[in-house]
Amino acid sequence: MNIKSFLAAAVVGLTTLTITPSANADAPGIFPGLSDYMGRDVRAKSPVMFTYMPDGQSYLVMTDGGKKIVKYDTATGKEIETVIDVSHTRESTIERISGFSLSPDASKMLIYTDAEGIYRWSFRAKYYVFEVKRNILRELSTNHEKQESPVFSPDSRMVAFVAGNNIYLKKLDYNTEVAVTTDGKVNSIINGVPDWTYQEEFETTTSMAWSPDNTTLCYLKYNESEVPMFTFSLYEGVCPAREEYALYPGEFSYKYPLPGVNNAIVTLHSYDIETRKTKDITFSDSQIEYIPRIAFGGVGSDRLIVTTLNRDQNRLEIYTVNPKSTVVKSIVVDKAKAWIIPEAYEQITYNDNDFVIYSTRSGYTHLYQYSYTGQLLRQITNGDFDVTAYYGGDALGNHYYQSTCNGAINKVVSMVDKKGIVKHLSPLEGVASATFSPAHNFYVLRHSTAKIAPVYTLFNSKNKEVRVLEDNKALTARMASLPAKEFITVPSDGLQLNAYMLKPRNFDASKQYPLIMWQYSGPGSQQVLNQFGIDWMQEALNQGYIVACVDPRGTGGRGEAFMTSVYCHLGVNETIDQANAARYFAQLPYIDGNRIGIAGWSYGGYETLMSVSGKNSPFAAGVAIAPVTSWRYYDSIYTERYMLTPAQNTDGYQNSSPVNLTDDMNSRLLIMSGTADDNVHFSNTVEYLARLQGSGKLCNLMIFPNKDHSIYGCNATQLVWSNLLHHFNSTLK
């Protein structure tokens, strides 16, 4: 469950079922003060995005508004040369570059323009192939106006791409194009790219893999013909206005599997480049429901690595496949009492002779190194902490990773050598992350704390500082006078929960303040982190609130048992923890226990509805943004990972869905949703309102026509936060 823009849209709000505001409510409108904390001038600067050359000694940057791509020296940052200037290319010309990718040998680039969004991450665009030495720019395809997910062959001489749900192969040396598949059909058969659910929940946009010897292209086929269709309406709106829907609404339809219904049937195939023959690859295990990833491991062209999951997502099996003989061998099986963490199959790292995977088998998330025969070579990391990112290894056998070794609110970048000796590369306090060059000869370390804006520093392979790319000192100094997060723990059911609190300027401990509790609370997530951030909360402090955030059971960074304690009953323990935290805060002399509100977005919106519907809820008011209101309404992969199917867990679905709890909702509630949300459908809100009305209850509602899950663009974000503050001003003051 994630937040990402998809459809451009309008931003008109409609309020219905209005509860009477208190006399001191603010007039409607955007809070002017929000711009002080959400504008561009308070955003931390980051180094320009760059693409390393294969040797890591230089990198490429798109400059001049997309007119040029320039090469720079990594160590010095000095310009080396202009690689492409769109005003001086041969054969074809374009106005500007929207994005690019480099071929494996760096002799070519794939350049795209005129991108058109499809789903969360995916898009189709007009692609061109640029030959660096000859300065030649050619259309990738003259047969298809736009292409999707193009992939270079390892020798950089071919490109596989998708158009119209079919895979095509472009041989660049001969400027020829052939169809790899011909059965692609919208809302039925997809070749080479994943369906909506895979894209959203397995975070992948391509399902093709080239063999290292360039002779074979392997791909997944998604048969979604039996997946039910979901449709939502589109309106004229404003910003931008969609005039085609001025009088009659349009619609957007796509395949969306709900819990317990048919998923797309996924099958694996290999295509021989020379013979143009396709082979079907089958697995004997009938329990395989998902194939999240395919990739060739190491240098062997007879070793396609295929990761599979059962429908319950508690059993991961990794296979090697010979794409020519179609022989399949199982090499690794990992099981979980609850669910296999997504990192285990989404972030496998393949080396020449081994691969590295994540597992929670020890009770914490750690890294394990395997041979391609399935032999466990080494547990790379150990300890009572979670590894939260893996950055790969170098030629000396060192492995680089991010972890919670100094507590869940901090993220530390570390290195462990072949002997198991650990060296921390970042401060222990704060949140750090790293980006490495392909050869691991350089890396950029990003580090911030709640009081220090992000600092980006370039290091070499000896972990010596080369230069500071961005220090954000001016922003740190400018924001130093703002109230900072105070990190605390709060008790709940015998546990200590991580939390932070923000107090208004000129805080007076002899007074009592209303409290807003902001949270997300989703499985594996973290909101309570020692990192820099300036947002709407600062304006809430100006309005006279204390703001707090609590990471309840189910959240990440604290081991498997803490995270999986919510298995099969989402929202139950989280609601207990949020309520206990509110009662803890209410005992503090400077917080008014009768004026506590709770708010959240997406899963946080869901948990808001659960919290305001809890027995003897301590929350006087709530704001739920884009909330799930029943797990029966959300997609199969995400929901079943944590809840199994409705048939397997009937009581769990009943007790974990706000639509079934409206009789107990006794807080003053505001819901905000976008009508074009392809992730958490607006129908979640509609069905909740119906149940709420059936219970004889009122709430406030703000609808954002044509907006998706992110409710972004045309002041929409500021409208969301302003409406949240107006609501709390009318209910908590």
3 state SS of 558: coil
Neighbours of 268 (CB within 10 A): 24
Cα 475 from Cα 473, distance rounded (Å): 5
The number of C-alpha atoms within 13 Å of 686 and in the hemisphere containing its C-beta is 9
Return the pLDDT at 38. Answer: 84
Return the pLDDT at 24. Answer: 43
Q: What is the pLDDT of residues 310-336, one digit of tens each?
A: 999 999 999 999 999 999 999 999 999
Tell me the C-alpha to C-alpha distance, in Å, between residue 26 and each of 31, 211, 511, 722: 9, 63, 22, 10
State the chain's mean pLDDT as an integer.
94
Please give the structure tokens belonging to residue 313: 């997502």
Mean pLDDT score, 338-350: 98
Cis? peptide before 240, omega within 30° of 0: yes
- Over 70: is that where the pLDDT of 174 sits? yes
Report whether 290 contacts 195 (CB < 8 A).
no
Beta strands per DSSP E along 288-409: 288-296, 304-310, 315-321, 328-335, 349-350, 354-359, 366-371, 376-379, 387-393, 399-403
Report whether 250 contacts 292 (CB < 8 A).
no
Mean pLDDT score, 143-169: 98
Return the pLDDT at 42. Answer: 82
Tell me which residue of 292, 291, 296 sits closest to 267, measured CA to CA.
Answer: 291
Return the pLDDT at 352. Answer: 95
**Cα-Cα-Cα-Cα dihedral of 707, 708, 712, 717, to 10°?**
80
Q: What is the pLDDT of residues 660-709, one digit of tens each?
A: 999 999 999 999 999 999 999 999 999 999 999 999 999 999 999 999 99
Report whether 13 contacts 703 (CB < 8 A).
yes
- In what helix (H) or strand (E) does residue 166 lie, and over which residues does it extend? strand 166-171
Q: What is the pLDDT of residues 27-73, one digit of tens each?
A: 568 998 898 898 777 889 999 888 999 999 999 999 999 999 999 99
- pTM of this structure: 0.94
In angstroms, how far is CA 337 from the centroid of its own chain?
25
- Over 70: is that where the pLDDT of 511 sits? yes
Tokens 């093709």 locate to 208
Return the pLDDT at 25. Answer: 44
In angstroms, how far is CA 14 from the centroid of its own chain?
29
- Over 70: is that where the pLDDT of 338 sits? yes
Tokens 């703000």 locate to 702
DSSP 90: B
Q: What percent of the chain has pLDDT over 90?
A: 92
Return the pLDDT at 1. Answer: 63
Return the pLDDT at 673. Answer: 98
Return the pLDDT at 32. Answer: 86
Please give the structure tokens belonging to residue 52: 């390393």
Amino acid of residue 134 = R
Q: What is the pLDDT of residues 246-264, one digit of tens each?
A: 999 999 999 999 999 999 9
Report whether 540 contacts 569 (CB < 8 A).
no
Report whether 265 contacts 652 (CB < 8 A).
no
Tell me which residue of 488, 491, 523, 520 sits closest to 503, measured CA to CA.
Answer: 488
Tell me which residue of 704, 410, 712, 728 sits closest to 547, measured CA to CA.
Answer: 728
- Over 90: is that where the pLDDT of 2 sits? no
Cα 271 from Cα 652, distance rounded (Å): 44
Please give the structure tokens belonging to residue 470: 């961005």
Q: How many separate helices (H) and strands (E) can be counted in the chain?
A: 12, 44
Return the pLDDT at 27. Answer: 52
Q: What is the pLDDT of residues 458-507, one digit of tens each?
A: 999 999 999 999 999 999 999 999 999 999 999 999 999 999 999 999 99
C-alpha Rg value of the chain to the nearest Å: 26
Q: What is the pLDDT of residues 282-314, one digit of tens each?
A: 999 999 999 999 999 999 899 999 999 999 999
Please give the structure tokens belonging to residue 299: 């240098």
Q: What percent of the chain has pLDDT over 70?
A: 96
- In what helix (H) or strand (E) does residue 706 lie, and over which residues does it extend? none
Q: What is the pLDDT of residues 615-673, one digit of tens each?
A: 899 999 999 999 999 999 999 999 999 999 999 999 999 999 999 999 999 999 999 99
Return the pLDDT at 4. Answer: 34
Length of the chain: 733
For residue 13, what pLDDT band results from cuts at 50, 70 and 90? Answer: very low
Return the pLDDT at 41. Answer: 77
Return the pLDDT at 16. Answer: 30
SS (H, E, C) 169-231: EEECCCCEEEECCCCCECCCEEECCCCHHHHHHCCCCCCEEECCCCCEEEEEEEECCCCCEEE
In angstroms, how far is CA 25 from the centroid of its own chain?
36
3 state SS of 612: helix
Mean pLDDT score, 134-143: 97
**Burial class (CB within 10 angstroms; exposed 0-12, middle 13-18, buried 19+) of 99:** middle
Secondary structure (DSSP) of 50-61: -EE-TTSSEEEE
Tokens 């395989």 locate to 288
Please state whether beta strands 513-518 and 546-550 pair in parallel, antiparallel, or not at all (unpaired): parallel
Return the pLDDT at 327. Answer: 97
Secondary structure (DSSP) of 105-121: TSSEEEEEEEEEE-SSS
Report whether 490 contacts 515 (CB < 8 A).
no
Neighbours of 412 (CB within 10 A): 24
Q: What is the pLDDT of residues 205-228, one digit of tens each?
A: 999 999 999 999 999 999 999 999
Return the pLDDT at 273. Answer: 98
